[in-house]
Amino acid sequence: MTSNDDTVAADEAVRRAADDHDLLTDLVRDLPDDQLFAPYRVGDGPLGHFCDSLGDLVAHILMWDEINLAVLTEARSGRMHWSLDPRWEIPPAGVELNRAGVAAGREISGDQLLHRFDTVRDALLDELSRVPWTAAPAFTHPVVTSMGALAQYVMSVPGGEPFRHVGIHLGATSGSTEGGHR
């Protein structure tokens, strides 16, 4: 996103992010661990395949959300987050972060994973609603021109619709899923 003209409005960004998360929440709500971590066909992202179950997808989205939450809160405080450094904005770093995020999710119970997912989702949506959308960031970045553009940049999968991530992995865009059990 190279200009504010390309940036989704703040209320639309929050709505899209909430709807996208709801796709996953609706699938995993009340699942016992054996079903949460059972084989499930999850679509690849632009950096490859990392998720073999809905639990893996929850962990993957959670890691992405935690980084994005930190980017936004740091930016609102006038600081640039480590993930915006060119050393981290390369595919090999993204691959390793994705692998590590999924692996970490496999080490905790489904109940803990889903609690953390819900908590971070709520904090991220709250932070999105607080971002001074049209203000310029307090740091320079080669792509972003405003705080809203920064939010859109970090919360958009390359080649995907802004503020959508879960739907890419589930083969859905708004309320329907095409993925399924293997």
- pLDDT tens-digit profile of 163-179? 999 999 998 654 333 44
d(CA 105, CA 51): 11
Other residues' Cβ atoms within 10 Å of the Cβ of residue 66: 16
Give the 3-state secondary structure of the chain: CCCHHHCCCHHHHHHHHHHHHHHHHHHHCCCCHHHHCCEEECCCECCECCCCEHHHHHHHHHHHHHHHHHHHHHHHCCCCCHHHCCCCCCHHHHHHHHHHHHHHHCCCCHHHHHHHHHHHHHHHHHHHHHCCCCCCCCCCCCCCCCHHHHHHHHCCCCCCCCCCCHHHHHCCCCCCCCCEEC
**pLDDT(43) > 60:** yes
The domain segmentation of the chain, as residue ranges, is 4-177
| Percent of the chain's residues with pLDDT above 70 | 91
Q: Say what the pLDDT of residue 170 is.
A: 93
Tokens 């119970």 correspond to 109
Q: Confidence band (pLDDT; 50, 70, 90) for 48?
A: confident
pTM exceeds cut of 0.75 = yes
CB-count burial class (<10 Å; 0-12, 13-18, 19+) for 93: middle
pLDDT confidence of residue 169:
93
Residue 175, pLDDT score: 39
If we measure between CA atoms, which residue out of 20, 4, 53 comes closest to residue 155? 20
Q: How far apart are CA 152 and CA 87, in angstroms?
A: 20
Can you tell me the distance from the alpha carbon of 83 to that of 17, in angstroms, rounded to the nearest whole number? 20
Q: Which CATH number fits domain 4-177: 1.20.120.450, 3.40.50.450, 1.10.10.10, 3.30.200.20?
A: 1.20.120.450
Residue 16's Cβ-count burial label (10 Å; 0-12, 13-18, 19+) is buried
> Residues 143-157: pLDDT tens digits?
899 999 999 999 999
Other CB atoms within 10 Å distance of the CB of residue 98: 20
Mean pLDDT, the chain, integer = 90
Q: pLDDT-derived band of residue 5, with 50, 70 and 90 as boundaries? A: low
Q: Per-residue b/e over 28-44, b at no fewer than 16 CB within 10 Å?
A: beebeeeebbeebebee
